[in-house]
Structure 1
Amino acid sequence: MPDPTRPEPFPHPPPPTAATPLRVIVADDNPVVRAGLTALLSGRADITVAAEAADGRAAWEAAQRHRPDVVLLDVRMPGVDGLAALPYLVQIAPVVMLTYSRESEIVQEALRRGAGGYLVHGEFTADQLVTAVRDVKEGRAHFTHTAAGALLAQLREDRPTTPPGGPLPESPNDATAHESTPAPPNGLAISAETLSQLQSDVGQSSSEWTGRRPAAVDRSRYQLSTREAEIMDLIASGMTNHQIAAACFISEKTVKNHINRIFAKLHSTSRAEAAAKWLGTAPGSTQGRR
């Protein structure tokens, strides 16, 4: 029998439970990009890909079924595209646009429709993408430099061109009518408060997207095979050879062989140079648009 004069030992605490992984839906019409993103995100202990989708309608249906924490959404997809699906998806979960579309009017429209971030392929690393997914769940928006630049350009256009009347304020308390929002570090992470201000400054218009899209880069002149084009897409998204091999179910040696042929066709000597040409951001690339 236990001795009543002796205190009961402290009970052993229950083992700590693992945090519930963030549930993500990946929506992109390119199956290789979807597979690559899924492999990249699923490799993190605190993230799981709940579903993939090839267009906006499938993304919305998957979001209703799985109730994700974050949706990664492409812009240009057949059928219901990303911009059309965006207002419906943001009612379910925060949405990050993850796309090759870098045009300022598309960025601004995505913000008007409720996007919590905008990442352009080729402008972020795998680690930055993972950080963006985690942060957007907590209300911290993320933009790569092209998207941030588009927003800043719009803000500058809307800024008054003449100074306000009256004398220069003597103290910060006298300038409450002209408060400013601090710039985010490196132009990538933006607080939820700043996002709200940006959405207001970019415009509150609820007009429907007209469907007038700037022309895409004409990549046919590079004469890449289907597989080479898929791998070039993944290179431009910032993936390593190891990640590309996992996404395409091929060996790293095969990836390297493909990359050598891609570099020869694009007349490039580095991943950055090849990505710039592929995305249409290299000098003189405007001649390759259609």
Structure 2
Amino acid sequence: MTEPIRVLIIDDNPVVRLGLRNLLDAHDTITVVGEADNGDDGVRMNSQLSPDVVLCDVRMPGLDGVGAAAQMAPTTSVVMLTYTDDLDTIRSTIASGAKGYLVHGAHQPDEIVAAVVTAASGSSVLGPAASLALLSGTAASAPAVDHGTWGLTSREGEIMALVAKGLSNRDIAKACFLAEKTVKNHINNIFPKLGVVTRAEAISLWLGATGSQNTT
């Protein structure tokens, strides 16, 4: 049998931690291996327990979620699950390497479970609230992304724009009247041009979250 997905919960609110543990432990394919109520302990437990996924709050005593995510992201799929929908915080967290960003109240319990499964597979899980916040913030303050900066074709630029909106490959395929495999092939061509490996990194760069663009 496939080993269950190992999850570490980091949140300073004990009620939130209990709710998440009960939700996740109800699924045979997921097991909660630990809890921490601050970023420093969370980083330490992540190193000790080697979970597949970390669900992490943003605002906590000591090391906050953004700083914790930056330390954990190289070895673990980190998904922020928080009440914070501040644009700068979202952008900073994604730039730090987090696989996803979900806002409490915007997702049903089964969507949180699905996000854990998706993150464990290595894919990003930007929720609608985070995607809309990123897009609205850049739309008002930044010029349209020039896909030619990275040598993307018009079609690749169109697909990357949809990726940045949080659409899945399947949804992009429907929107562009393409086969899902064709969309995947386009994305496999896009990432090397952007100089990124993950979907979260691509979105971060596309939306200007890193503060610079790769022109090589």
Partner of 2:58: 75
Q: Does 1:159 align with 2:143?
A: yes
Secondary structure, aligned partner of 1:98: strand
Q: Distance in 2 between matches of 1:45 and 1:69?
A: 15
Q: Distance in 2 between matches of 1:22 and 1:161?
A: 37
Partner of 2:178: none
Q: Distance in 2 between matches of 1:131 and 1:59?
A: 22
Q: Does 1:183 align with 2:162?
A: yes
Tell me how large the CA RMSD over aligned residues is: 2.9
- Once the two structures are TM-superposed, the CA of residue 160 in structure 1 deviates from its matched residue by 3.6
Q: Unmatched 5+ residue regions in structure 1?
A: 1-17, 165-173, 207-290
Q: Distance in 2 between matches of 1:147 and 1:66?
A: 29
Going from structure 1 to structure 2, the CA distance change for 1:189 and 1:62 (only over 3 Å counts) comes to farther
For these two proteins, the number of residue pairs brought into alignment is 179
Q: Does 1:146 align with 2:129?
A: yes
Matched AA of 1:67: S
Q: TM-score, normalised by structure 1?
A: 0.56
Secondary structure, aligned partner of 1:115: coil
Q: Distance in 2 between matches of 1:149 and 1:97?
A: 16
Q: Percent identity?
A: 34
Contact 2:101–2:127 under 8 Å retained in 1:
yes
Q: Unmatched 5+ residue regions in structure 2?
A: 170-186, 188-196
Select which of 126, 129, 132 maps to 2:115. 132
Q: Distance in 2 between matches of 1:78 and 1:94?
A: 22
Q: Does 1:24 align with 2:3?
A: no
CA deviations over 1:260-281 (Å, ceiling 9, x no partner) = xxxxxxxxxxxxxxxxxxxxxx
Q: Distance in 1 between matches of 2:46 and 2:7?
A: 9
- Once the two structures are TM-superposed, the CA of residue 195 in structure 1 deviates from its matched residue by 2.6
Secondary structure, aligned partner of 1:179: helix
Question: Greater share of helix residues, 1 or 2?
Answer: 2
Secondary structure, aligned partner of 2:136: helix
Matched AA of 1:204: T
Q: TM-score, normalised by structure 2?
A: 0.73
